[in-house]
Amino acid sequence: MEKESLGLGMVSGICFSTRKRVASVIVVQDESGKPLVNGQCGWGLPGGKIEEGESPADALFREWKEEVGTEENIPIIDEDSVIVIPRTGDEGPYKQYLIPVRLGSSPAPLRKTGCPGETGPPTWISLQDITMGEIPVFWTHWEIIMYYWTRPLARYDKEAAFIATHLAKKLGIEL
């Protein structure tokens, strides 16, 4: 991936389990298919701002270490499938990079590392908890979760794909 400087760039990652082709955004699936989120004021997918001189891939590795765990469970990036979403925030337009990754091995035990107070501990949650409103998820992350749950999941888990599609329609998200 080409290095570029993005003043207001953001990065998130899409993690695929090595055991299942089930996906969410910078979400590692555990053996029961639950995605990983973290948060304090609301729940979101691990990721964050791209710092000066950092490529989106470098930012993803840094954020992964800070918010999820150690170098032992850093994902391997699939650079051919990067998605760039134009966004507009309080400080103006920026790009959000969604970077598909695969774990090199089964997910290691998670622990909070890096920047204390930046996020809550990483937590495994079920898609049903998200869709039933049990877990408040940031709006922009909703769009991404719904998009990825309906694509690859439809082949493997019809019930979860149905839930995601139904929720997306209810929330007015175009898939």
Share of the chain above pLDDT 70, in %: 19
Question: What was the pLDDT predicted at 163?
Answer: 56
Task: Write down the pTM of the prediction.
Answer: 0.58
Question: What was the pLDDT predicted at 64?
Answer: 75
pLDDT band of residue 57 (cuts 50, 70, 90) is confident
Question: What was the pLDDT predicted at 3?
Answer: 30
Question: What was the pLDDT predicted at 19?
Answer: 31
Question: What domains appear along the chain, each with residue ranges and CATH number?
Answer: 10-129 (3.90.79.10)
pLDDT band of residue 63 (cuts 50, 70, 90) is confident
Question: What was the pLDDT predicted at 143?
Answer: 66
Q: Rounded to whole angstroms, what are the CA distances from 157 to 21, 100, 103?
A: 10, 20, 21
